[in-house]
């Protein structure tokens, strides 16, 4: 039997993936490409983030994670550099 609450959470998580990636890329652009840290952390940019995200999702799929888990991996990868100081 399918738990409706769990299914709703899964659908919410799946739709959060693309939105979260867009938000993360905007944050990376503002902070590391245009902001005061642009010269100091030049490798923290949108292309780097897209590459890390793409590779993380490929790995998640390769090891057989569920679709929900793959979306969570995508979100985590997208935000992996947002904590840099």
Look up residue 56 and give its two tokens.
């993380």
pTM here? Answer: 0.65
Q: What digits encode the pLDDT tens for the residues 4-63?
A: 444 444 454 555 667 788 888 888 888 777 777 667 666 677 888 889 999 999 999 999
């Amino acid at each position: 039997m399918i738990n409706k609450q769990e299914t709703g959470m899964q659908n919410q998580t799946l739709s959060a993936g693309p939105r979260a990636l867009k938000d993360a890329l905007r944050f990376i652009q503002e902070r590391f490409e245009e902001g005061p840290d642009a010269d100091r952390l030049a490798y923290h940019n949108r292309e780097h983030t897209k590459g890390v995200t793409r590779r993380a999702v490929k790995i998640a799929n390769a090891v057989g994670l569920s679709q929900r888990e793959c979306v969570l991996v995508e979100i985590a990868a997208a935000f992996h550099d947002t904590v840099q100081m």
